[in-house]
Structures are given as structure tokens and as C-alpha cells.
Chains A and B, each alone.
Chain A
Amino acid sequence: MKKIGKATGKAAEKKQNTLLMEIWKAKYIYLLLIPFVIWLIMFSYVPMAGVVLAFKEFNAIDGMFGSPWVGLKHFERIFSTPAAVKSIITTITLSFQRILFEFPAPIILAIITTEMRGKKIKKVFQTVLTFPHFLSWITVSAILVSIFSEAGALNSVLTALGLDTIPFLSDGPLFKAMLFITHNWKEMGWASIIYMATISTIDPGLYEAAEIDGASRLKQIWHVTIPALLPLISMRLIMKVGGVMNAGFSQIFNMRNAVVADSVQILDAYIYDITFRSIPNYGFSTAVGLFKSIINFMLLMLANQLVGKMTGEKMWSFEKRNKKKGVK
């Protein structure tokens, strides 16, 4: 008995020593990680701990962590506030509409771009198509409003042609359509790159074989390109569904006007309005934000599981990383 105890004790001691040795060996690594860890604590985890505000009645004197607890009061209020419930519904509806109208655009664009002939002109076109992604929604929406507003360029062209003007930005459903169109205008080119990357990895032999079998180029797209893209498409689609509580705040915040604001009042906009445009109730605002984050997080985890099941490789997994590296 004694012997065994001694032996395991020794083993544990030895183990501890090797651990300390390893830590000592990696001292420079820790040193390099310190700035990041400090940042992570100060600007990510302290605010994250601040979600306790969702269960508190905030007052300025006691501050974020000292204010008194009120339990689930704020959460109950979310569901008894019509505006909050409405913004939740608007967010989810808009997200799904976005998937319907915005998700396919870059895929189609990628296929068309790959089919295009002329390497140089293709490069130029690609540069133009990806450019708007690098501008902010503030500048883009100002430029686009100058085109689509009541007195804008497009309506003046319509008038000149003797047609009626169209209230692109001041009619609820039409404004939503404009959200999808302008979002595609700005992001389609950039988003298509990831699909083009995948297309470029397709074995050219597959196309040659199809050609020998007499498949037209359209048929080749249908039977070779699209099947090759399917895993990526389904993965991105699932991730999109996982992000359903974000419905494009930057765009909506900068493009909305008083007439249509209500029809696109998504959660993020609602949180902004109750926090910075009226007498704030920080506890309630935090609760709405937390509600959003939790739903989002759960959906993402679910999406990740699904992707893992489908492709055998999750977007991120914590178990596999080290082993993979070891093999390398």
C-alpha cells in the first residue's frame, strides 16, 4: 500500500515538474500573449461580465457591478413591450428575406465571372465589383440615396421619360427591396470571391470529361461547378441561419428615414434607440442585448454542429486542433 502511494506521489510530482518545465520553456510565448490577454480581459470579458446588468436596476452611483439585483424583471418586460416583441419579429423576418434575396447573388456572380473570357478584363471587372465592400455604409448610403431618393437621379430620369416617380426609399415594402438590392450592390462582388476560390480548385479534368461526353457549358456548370460548390453553399447557408438575429444594422441605420424606420426596426436599431435616443434604462437595454446574444450564440453552436455533421469538419472545434498539429 505504502509503496503504491509513494510511487503515485512521485509520479504526480514528476508530472508537476514537467508541467513547470514546459511552462518555463514557453516563457517567451506567454510574454508575447500578454498584450492580447490584457486586451481580451479589459475590452471583451469585462464588458461580457457587464451582462449582469440585465438582472439589475442600474444606478450611476453603484455602477455596473454594484447596482441592486432585480431578477428577471427586465426579461419579463421584453415580452410585455410590444415594440420589443415587434423588433424581434422584424429581425427574424428580415434575416430570412435577406437569405432569400442576398445569399444566392454572390454564388451566381462567381459562376458568371469564372465563365467570362479575357483574363485582364476579368481582373479589372473584379476590382470594380469588389470595391464597394471597402466603403462604409455611411458613404455608400449617402451616394445611393442621391440616386434613389424622391428627387434623386433615377426618379429624374423617370420623369424625363414621362413616367411616374417611384418612392424607392419612402415606401415600406419598396424600401425593404432597396435594402436587398443595395446590399447586393455593395457586398455581392466581395462575397463571390470565396466561391470563385472553390471553383478554381475544381479538377479541370472533370470539365474535359464532361465536354467529351458532349455536355454544353451550361450543362457543365450544372453538373460540375454547382455540385462542387454545394458543400460550401450549405455550410455558408447554415452559418447565415446561425446569425439570424443580426439583420444588417449598419445598412439599416444609415439608410432608414422617418417614414420607413418602423418597418425595419430590427433589434440592434431598437437597442440603439432605447439607449441613446430616450431616457435610457441601462438594465433593460442590456437585457434586450443579452437576449439577442444568447439566441445568436445558441443558433451558431447549433449551426456549427450541423456543419460538423455534414462535412466532417466543424468551422471550429477545440478538441482536434492540437492533434492535427502534432501530426504535422
Chain B
Amino acid sequence: MKKLKRKRKKFSKLDIAVSIIMTFLVVVIIIPFWNAIVISFSTNEAYINNRFSLWPSEFTLGNYVAILSRGKGLLTAYGNTIWVSFIGTLGGMVVMTCAAYGFSRRFPGRRVLFMISIFSMYFGGGVVPTYLNLKNLNLLNTFTGVIMLTLVSVSHIILLMKGFEAVPKELEEAAMIDGANDLDIFRIVMIPLNKPTLATITLFTFVSLWNDWYWPMLTLTDNNKLLLQVYVRNIIKAADSMTTGLAASDSAINMSFSMGIQMATILVVIVPVMCIYPFVQKHFVKGMYVGSVKM
């Protein structure tokens, strides 16, 4: 992909306008996060007195201490989410990579199977049948059930398949002459040559599991099986109902879900993504390129 180069000598009016707009947008993206960080490091009194400040006026680690010491809820949810994301990504990658390689080869029935798979992308049973299906399989309230629903994505299989199809046929033929069968080609040729695409899909799968909330919310009902997103949602909802409901008078409870606590919890959830993202961004972007330009 050639980058277009246009030589410009000095900053024109357009350049200034562009810089201003871009800077404005970036600031608009950052402010909510920064505000959340500031609130999480402020005492509740300071927050109530001044709901927007660029620096915590009364710096405290109290909110973080509170969320970590308040029972094992958050830590359990964290552990659960890490477990679910890792196992789900691993399982998903194995299933998807194998299937993608399969679809990249020719075999009797390929077209029909491919059609059936694509159809499943655009037509689903809906919420109730999915729920009852999990129930029938005894997968309600299990991590397996949640993992299974997010594990495989046909569009990711298609992305991987395109990667495999792009490998020059000569390499395969050379391997075949050396007596390699389909499995060997998959292992020796295809996987090493498609590492970047595999990395991209791994990241996509991991993030979608990390952010998964709908089915975890509906099916994981045990307190010790909560996932992070659902845990965050519960805290926010509890705080909401407390500010609007009767419990608002009980300042002790109110304090325990203060804005500082809420923001600290959210930051604990998004900081891993925030720290890793700048380093893996190019993989994500590449995945998007592959998916869009070739489609």
C-alpha cells in the first residue's frame, strides 16, 4: 500500500483548521477518561464540592483500597473474566483456524457448508431459543455456556480463510511434492505464514470475550461466577437505585457506591485494555484493513 505523499511547504489555513479539529476531537475523547481518573483519586467530599476538576483536589487512594478490600467480589470477577477470556480465546482460535484452513481448500460439500455457515451469520434463533438451548444443554450458570456463545465468529473464519487463500499455491505444491499431507501443510506452511492475521483475530476474540456482558448477565447468576462487565453494571445500577430510591438517606450505604468507587472500579476494568492497546493497535487496524478492502 503506497502512502500518498504531497509535498507542502508551509502551514496553510487548511492545515491549521485540520490541526484544530483533530486536537479538539482528541481532547473530547480524553476528557471523560481523565475526569474518571480524577474522580477515582478524589475523596467523596471533594467530588461533591467540585464535580469537574482537572486534578484531584484532595488526593486519596481510598477508593481503590475500598474496592479491593470490600469482599472478594471484584477480585473474583477479575479472575473469572481472565479465565473465561483465556480459555475462550484459546478454544476459539483452535476451532476457527482449523475451520478457516478447511474452507480455504477444495473438498466436496465445501460450497454447501460455507453457505450454511454464512447463513448463520445473518439469521439467528433469537434470545429465547438461545436461552432455552443453553438450558437444555445444562449450560446455564456455567462459564462453558458463556464461552460457547462468543467462541466462534464466522466473519473471523472468513478473515482467516482469506489469509490462507493468499498464500502462494507454489508453496503448497512444493510441500506436497515433499510428501506433505493437508495437515502438514496447515502446520508447516499456513500457520507460520499467517501469524499476523492470527494475532489480529486472537486479539479481537480476546477483547470480545473481555467485554462480553449480555449472556453473562443473563446466565451467570451465582455471585461467585460474575464477570467483570456484569460486576461493573451491578455496581452502577446499585448506585443509581440508591440515589433515586429510598436508601439515599442512608449515607453509609451511599458512600460505599460513591462516584469515586464507581470510577475506580471502571478504571480497574479498562486499564489493562488501555495499557495494551497502543502496542497492539496496529494489529487491530490491520485486521480491519484485511476485512474491509478485500471484502
Q: Point out residues on A near B: beta carbons under 8 Å.
A: 19, 22-23, 26, 28-33, 35-37, 39-40, 42-51, 53, 63-64, 109, 112-113, 115-117, 125-132, 134-136, 138-139, 142-147, 151-157, 185, 189-190, 193-194, 197-198, 200-202, 204, 207-208, 211, 217-218, 250, 254, 257-258, 271-272, 275-276, 280, 282, 285-286, 289-290, 292-293, 296-297, 300, 315-316, 318, 321-322, 325, 328
25 contacts between A and B (CB under 8 A): A28-B183, A29-B101, A33-B99, A40-B116, A40-B120, A42-B137, A42-B148, A43-B149, A50-B130, A50-B133, A112-B18, A117-B11, A117-B18, A138-B236, A193-B285, A197-B289, A197-B293, A200-B1, A202-B4, A254-B233, A286-B125, A286-B126, A296-B122, A297-B122, A322-B106
In the complex, the answer to whether B132 meets A50 with C-beta atoms within 8 Å is yes
B246 touches A (CB below 8 Å): no
Residue in B122, B128, B240 with the greatest tally of chain A CB atoms within 10 Å: B128
In the complex, the answer to whether B270 meets A35 with C-beta atoms within 8 Å is no
Min CB distance, A77 to chain B, in Å?
Answer: 15
Q: Which residue of B36, B108, B123, B127 contacts A272 across the interface (Cβ within 8 Å)?
A: B127
Residue in B52, B96, B232, B269 with the greatest tally of chain A CB atoms within 10 Å: B52
In the complex, the answer to whether B8 meets A117 with C-beta atoms within 8 Å is yes
Q: Which residue of A134, A208, A218 contacts B277 across the interface (Cβ within 8 Å)?
A: A134
What A residues does B117 contact at CB under 8 A? 36, 40
Q: Which residue of A135, A142, A151 contacts B51 across the interface (Cβ within 8 Å)?
A: A151
Chain B window 172-185, contacts with chain A (Cβ cutoff 8 Å), 1 for yes, 0 for no: 00000000011100
Min CB distance, A162 to chain B, in Å?
Answer: 15
In the complex, the answer to whether A112 meets B127 with C-beta atoms within 8 Å is no
Q: Beyond the given A112-B18, A147-B31, A200-B1, please list 16 additional residue pairs across the A-B interface where CB-CB is below 8 A.
A: A22-B108, A26-B182, A28-B186, A30-B102, A33-B98, A37-B113, A63-B136, A117-B8, A145-B236, A151-B51, A194-B292, A197-B293, A275-B131, A285-B126, A318-B118, A321-B111
Main secondary structure of the interface of A (DSSP, over half): helix
What B residues does A201 contact at CB under 8 A? 1, 293
Min CB distance, A148 to chain B, in Å?
Answer: 9
User: B239: nearest residue on chain A (CB-CB)?
Assistant: A142
* A280 vs B125: C-alpha distance when bound (angstroms): 17
* A143 vs B259: C-alpha distance when bound (angstroms): 10
**Known contacts A22-B107, A271-B127, A318-B111; A144/B165 CB under 8 A:** no
**Known contacts A116-B18, A286-B129; A193/B289 CB under 8 A:** yes
Q: Which residue of B26, B36, B96, B240 contacts A257 across the interface (Cβ within 8 Å)?
A: B240
Residue in B124, B129, B186, B278 with the greatest tally of chain A CB atoms within 10 Å: B129
Return the 10 tightest CB-CB contacts between A and B, nearest first. A50-B129, A289-B126, A47-B125, A36-B99, A26-B107, A153-B52, A136-B211, A156-B51, A32-B98, A33-B102
